[in-house]
Structure 1
Amino acid sequence: MNQASLHHLLALKFDETKSPEDLFALRLATNLTLVKEGFFSLYQEERHKAYFTRLIDLLPRLFSDRPTELKFQDLVRVRQQGNWYQSEKMVGMQLYTNHFNKDLKGLRDKLPYFEELGVNFLHLMPITTRPKEENDGGYAVNSYHEIDKKFGTKNDLEKLTQELRSRKMFLMLDFVVNHTSNEYPWAKKAIAGSKKYRSYYFTYPDRDIPDAFEETLPEVFPQTSPGNFTYNKKMKRWVMTVFNDYQWDLNYSNPEVFLEMLTNLVKLINLGVDVVRFDALAFLWKKIRTTSQNLPEAHMLISLFRMCLQIIAPGTVLLAEAIVAPTEIIKYFGEESRKGNECEMAYNASLMALLWNSIATKKTNLLQKSLQEIPKKPDTATWINYIRCHDDIGLGFDDAHIYDIGWDAKEHRKFLLDYYCQVLPWSPAKGLVFMYNPKNGDGRITGSAASLLGLEKGIMENNEKLIKAAIDKIVMMHGIVFSYGGIPMIYAGDEIGMLNDYSFLEDPNKKHDSRWVNRPQQDWETIAALQGKKGHSSEIFFRLQKMIALRKKLSVFADSNNFVLHAAPNQHLLTFERNAIEDKSVLVLSNFDENPQTLSNDWLQSIGFFALEGVKDIISNKKIKTASKGITLQPYELLWLQKL
């Protein structure tokens, strides 16, 4: 029996007369065998048995620390029909708290803004303590649950989460599960000479083992942090630092690290967190002569975290931040015996990158080829769909898919970098290159959605045609993720078409990281004038607002694995369907070309979507006749079609 089945069993056994403590005991008893199997699949030595005993003693202590209100919230979510995170009413926004409105108090003041747009799920970028200098935007952590004073206090966060619950809104925070900063208490103790805390990391007195690792480890940040080890002069040892020299990778082959990190995780969620974003989870297990990414042990470790969390706080879910190949991403929902037993959510990074590929090429052939070969996800899982986030746009497409459609993989990636990063003078995009690696020609793309889609260039050149095309692209891409299966996530500022922010070049701690170009301060002056002012910001905001409201009215947009990709004969178009039981099905059409494109009635009939009386675009609420040549989409037009 997998974890999803157990979760359903617990829901059936739920008895309103039982206390949260009674139901914790039931969950512990029901899950104990799975926890034991998961633990000893990772920690097989005789000496590890004592750590399992410690884990079993730890679980009730962690549960007892959970606030009563959250314990009852867990019970409500367990007994609900369906999973709350798969609802059509879920719409998210990712933001930097201090960039959005100063601090946690300022963010709380702006909750009506989210409600006006239709957003009810917030992802706050890291708000815990971090080094004062370079800290990777907070992903170099000094604490997992103490709030950095520039954002406020722990009390401010708890007040925010209470307010979110009262408004039926949800919160996601990061858990930097792969590494700590070099200022974290464990790292400081390791530097001071503690053998115990040195064993929490990968530290070596010479280069023998580091060199063996380096033979197969790729470089994440080749420009700013080449290699995967940093020499610590005070400790006189080499430390594994896969991301940056100030981020020390945790050694999960030591079971004490797992116990400590589970404790940190529960302390974080007890602040009122609904979704935990497991950062860099693909890197969790390290092994010589491998890439130390996506290893089976990493999956087993994630499953163990999940099983323990289901015992302590079953209303909280995990999101996989695994920006890896499409066939690897799907595995973070759980494989084989662990199917549905790892993360309940995962970033649909492949969809994001493929959409940007289609914008540049004006074709959907690579998009369709790649999506067709992604295995079906578990019914209990869902995607986070997005077009931009705080990070870069990677080009991790499957080379075989690129060659299959007749393109050279290396040359195609070079074209995409040139298109988006201001090498091709005819391109409308105003992006920057991130972490270019001259060894293999690999690079990534940064820039705000609006600037990458031509709005910045259009405004600079006072080119109305370019501005209109950019607005239509922004709306089309958001409309795709609003209607694709999963939770749509808007990046703060994209809802008003904010442009690149080049001020990072003046900050010595940021100027080497071009991702800061797409991390602007929220423009509240523009937002205050949305109602009474015409222009690109108002048009984008109100068009997105309309689609969000429509999404929330239609149960067909709930994620019940009811997504069907249709391979349209016109390669400029993306076509997919959301099948419905109660509502009418919705056919989503989008045109990635700068010219009108048509779908014939014969093709519509072949997929069962032809109707003599016509169909209706529910976004514009206009009837479209199918009795003539077919359906024609204007440049960058998006349609949500239902039969009349």
Structure 2
Amino acid sequence: MNQTSLHRMLASNKPDNPEKANLKELFDLRLSTNLSIIQNLFLSLYPEATLQNSFPLLLELLPELYKKRPENLKIQDLRRLKHANWYQSEKMVGMQLYVDHFNKNLKGLETKIGYFEKLGVNLLHIMPVTTRPKGENDGGYAVNSYTQVDKKYGSKADLLNLTKKLRSKNMHLMMDFVVNHTSDEFPWAKKAMAGDKKYQDYYYTYPDRKLPDEFESSLPEVFPQTSPGNFTFNTKMNRWVMTVFNDYQWDLNYTNPMVFMDMLTNLVELANLGVDVIRFDALAFLWKKLGTNSQNLPEAHSLVTLFRMCLQVVAPGVVLLAEAIVSPQEIIKYFGEGINKGNECEIAYNATLMALLWNSIATKKTHLLYKNLMNLPSKPIEGTWINYIRCHDDIGLSFDDRYIYEVGWDASSHRKFLLDYYCQKLDWSPAMGQVFMYNPKNGDGRITGSAASLLGLEKGLDQNDEELIKLAVNKILMLHAIILSYGGIPMIYAGDEIGTLNDYSYLKNKDLKEDNRWANRPKQDWKTVAGLDKIDTPQTQIFHSLKKLIRIRRNTPVFADINNLLLHPTPNAHIFMFERRNNSDEDVLVICNFDEKLHMIDTAGVASKGYVAGGKLKDLVLGESITLKSSLLEINPYQILWLSKS
């Protein structure tokens, strides 16, 4: 049994009215329940901790952190413990956005809650709003503070008002915890530069190149074009500092137990603002070890689990999302393995599904999609995915080379094809994307661009090609329908719900022009939104169709993620089919066509699963029955069917 289940069982024995519960007693129960795991994890990472007296400091810290958690959030924690895995519900639908790009600031965002309600979104992931350096700051991921709001977004009071309003609407908020690094303007970094040895040990700093060179021999480059290497010489400190991402982002030294405890304090303070889901940014990089690539190390997993076990004691209603855009076999580990299975992160990005969907769009084939998904280890019953098409970042082609070879393709050539297809190197491709961080040393590169531009809408509109526009709209809706019906939380990227195209204005900004990810970070087009109920455009078709799909999802209990997904490969390489099954009349069979041509499948397999009644199929998307005229079911280009038994 994992710790969440154990805490839920303990909570179920307490009064039904959380307001009457003895909150301190329940905290003590959670602490005693997790204590042996916390101690084992802590001492495995810090074997000298007993000598340094740091573990007793952690035991003193946890009650102090709990005292600071607001009373209303403590009560909310108990409600969530009693109501199972709330984050796995079919009613969960998310949207990721930049606050200033969406509607100016936090107050402006609050005024748009009605827009989210209209669409059916009840989980907002707002990109970083805390203080950051002026100029280059990696979109706010170079943090000067973990809880102080940057003035451009408003104030901490505005953030608290937003979280209060969201709670009143039964909506949820996700925010980032930049756990791997701080900016070089963070108070710890400033003290380190001023010569404070204590805070120099909060980072990886060295007086010469001996150890940095040893690290460099095995460390890959994250941004080889704009930030080559992994160390930066700081003239104020006269030392080399590890900067894996950018020279202004200093990697935290988690081999120092005081770093963990101070970061745990920052984590709880963030949760105390009313945040429901905390996104652990770049957690794959947390532990550095000479002779390794310092990614996905066992110690990093132990560290994340330690954060989770401590947070679960203090704020058990808050869940963690693993931002680990790594290989499929590595992603699954962030739910926890072995004795810690289910005790690491509750949620992880389904980057594998995302990349494979884009692969299937380019190839019009689904065999690589099946090959990867069917060989992915099962996740814990308590874990769930974030399923997404696009986000603020690039698209990495993070699927397993061996499966590419197994379907008869050369892995290197295939990745080059995908870059060419999406990044305007093939005249016949409808995609209008760009290559991000191409590395000539190994031929690796990633893809940027909005969903609509990558799927052909930008090119269709530029060429006034009605057929290309129609196909693009169908692709957009099909991909969204997949993430809405696949197991997990669907996360829509703001603007995709109205078919927003690439924004090239970043090229005019000296601080942004070298980072083409900003093409996919446009401002929300409220003029288009104002016309959604007035005129018929591709954008209005996308919005209203997506709104309908969300409504169906939220009214279909089988879409809750309880590990009830079954993949059903078909002989037709263009078709993707899977089922959400509760072994009842609520079951749904999902079928979609990744080709621009009509395809057919034999209905015998569909009938054997119980989806044919009286020669008819009931499609939830169409809202009507399909009469079968033969033993073959026709599926139009980029069509998706949600077939119901009842």
Alignment TM-score, normalising by the size of structure 1: 0.98
| SS in structure 2 at match of 1:61 | helix
Find 1:156's aligned residue among 155, 158, 161: 158
1:241-277 per-residue CA deviation (whole Å, 9 max, x = no partner) reads 1111110000001000000000000111100000000
CA distance in 1, matches of 2:86, 2:583: 19
Supply the AA of the counterpart residue of 2:179.
V
Please give the residue correspondences for 1:4-403 in structure 2 after superposition, counting only pairs within 5 Å.
4-15=4-15, 16=17, 17-45=20-48, 50-80=53-83, 82-403=84-405
CA distance in 1, matches of 2:39, 2:585: 44
1:338-383 per-residue CA deviation (whole Å, 9 max, x = no partner) reads 0000000000011001000000000011111000011111111110
CA distance in 2, matches of 1:44, 1:583: 55
Supply the AA of the counterpart residue of 1:3.
Q
Residue 516 of structure 1 aligns with which residue? 518
Cα 1:46/1:475, change in 2 over 3 Å? closer
CA distance in 1, matches of 2:529, 2:471: 22
- Structure 1 unmatched ranges of 5 or more: none
Residue 586 of structure 1 aligns with which residue? 588
CA shift, 1:207, in A, is 1.1
1:622-641 per-residue CA deviation (whole Å, 9 max, x = no partner) reads 21234613211000101101
Report if the CA contact (8 A) 1:612-1:626 is conserved: no
Cα 1:526/1:184, change in 2 over 3 Å? same
CA distance in 1, matches of 2:468, 2:279: 37
Report if the CA contact (8 A) 1:126-1:173 is conserved: yes
CA distance in 1, matches of 2:526, 2:507: 23
CA distance in 1, matches of 2:120, 2:46: 46
1:36-67 per-residue CA deviation (whole Å, 9 max, x = no partner) reads 11111111115555111000100111011111
Identity of aligned residues (%): 64
| SS in structure 1 at match of 2:446 | strand
1:496 aligns with 2:502: no
CA distance in 2, matches of 1:627, 1:297: 59
CA distance in 1, matches of 2:239, 2:142: 20
1:551 aligns with 2:548: no
CA distance in 1, matches of 2:512, 2:181: 21
Report if the CA contact (8 A) 1:614-1:643 is conserved: no
CA distance in 2, matches of 1:186, 1:349: 33
Find 1:407's aligned residue among 406, 409, 420: 409
Supply the AA of the counterpart residue of 1:565.
L
Report if the CA contact (8 A) 1:14-1:79 is conserved: no
1:193-223 per-residue CA deviation (whole Å, 9 max, x = no partner) reads 1110010000111111111111111111110
CA shift, 1:23, in A, is 1.1
Between 1:580-589 and 1:278-287, the stretch displaced more is 580-589
Residue 632 of structure 2 aligns with which residue? 630
1:95-133 per-residue CA deviation (whole Å, 9 max, x = no partner) reads 000000000000000000000000000000000000001
1:524-555 per-residue CA deviation (whole Å, 9 max, x = no partner) reads 01101110111011100000000000001110
Please give the residue correspondences for 1:567-578 in structure 2 after superposition, counting only pairs within 5 Å.
567-578=569-580
| SS in structure 1 at match of 2:152 | coil
Residue 528 of structure 2 aligns with which residue? 526
Report if the CA contact (8 A) 2:610-2:645 is conserved: no
| SS in structure 2 at match of 1:150 | helix
CA shift, 1:10, in A, is 2.0
CA shift, 1:583, in A, is 4.5
CA distance in 2, matches of 1:285, 1:148: 29
Report if the CA contact (8 A) 2:43-2:49 is conserved: no
CA distance in 1, matches of 2:357, 2:9: 39
| SS in structure 1 at match of 2:79 | helix
1:466-520 per-residue CA deviation (whole Å, 9 max, x = no partner) reads 0000000000000000000010000000000000000000001100000000000
CA distance in 1, matches of 2:356, 2:613: 31
Residue 427 of structure 2 aligns with which residue? 425
| SS in structure 2 at match of 1:172 | strand
CA distance in 2, matches of 1:18, 1:168: 22
Supply the AA of the counterpart residue of 2:229.
G
Between 1:162-171 and 1:625-634, the stretch displaced more is 625-634
CA shift, 1:163, in A, is 0.2
CA distance in 2, matches of 1:236, 1:409: 44
CA distance in 2, matches of 1:168, 1:2: 27
Supply the AA of the counterpart residue of 2:641.
L
Cα 1:233/1:5, change in 2 over 3 Å? same
Report if the CA contact (8 A) 2:231-2:243 is conserved: yes
Report if the CA contact (8 A) 2:234-2:240 is conserved: yes
| SS in structure 2 at match of 1:276 | strand
1:441 aligns with 2:443: yes
CA shift, 1:603, in A, is 3.2
| SS in structure 2 at match of 1:385 | strand
Between 1:596-605 and 1:173-182, the stretch displaced more is 596-605
CA RMSD, aligned part only?
1.2
- Structure 2 unmatched ranges of 5 or more: none
Find 1:476's aligned residue among 472, 475, 478: 478
CA distance in 2, matches of 1:370, 1:13: 42
Between 1:28-37 and 1:261-270, the stretch displaced more is 28-37
CA distance in 1, matches of 2:377, 2:610: 24
CA distance in 2, matches of 1:603, 1:27: 49
Alignment TM-score, normalising by the size of structure 2: 0.98
CA distance in 2, matches of 1:513, 1:310: 37
Supply the AA of the counterpart residue of 1:45.
E
Residue 640 of structure 1 aligns with which residue? 642
Report if the CA contact (8 A) 2:203-2:252 is conserved: yes
CA shift, 1:34, in A, is 1.4
CA distance in 2, matches of 1:577, 1:290: 41
Report if the CA contact (8 A) 2:130-2:140 is conserved: yes
CA distance in 2, matches of 1:480, 1:211: 46
CA shift, 1:605, in A, is 4.4
CA shift, 1:604, in A, is 2.6
| SS in structure 2 at match of 1:318 | strand
CA distance in 2, matches of 1:630, 1:585: 22
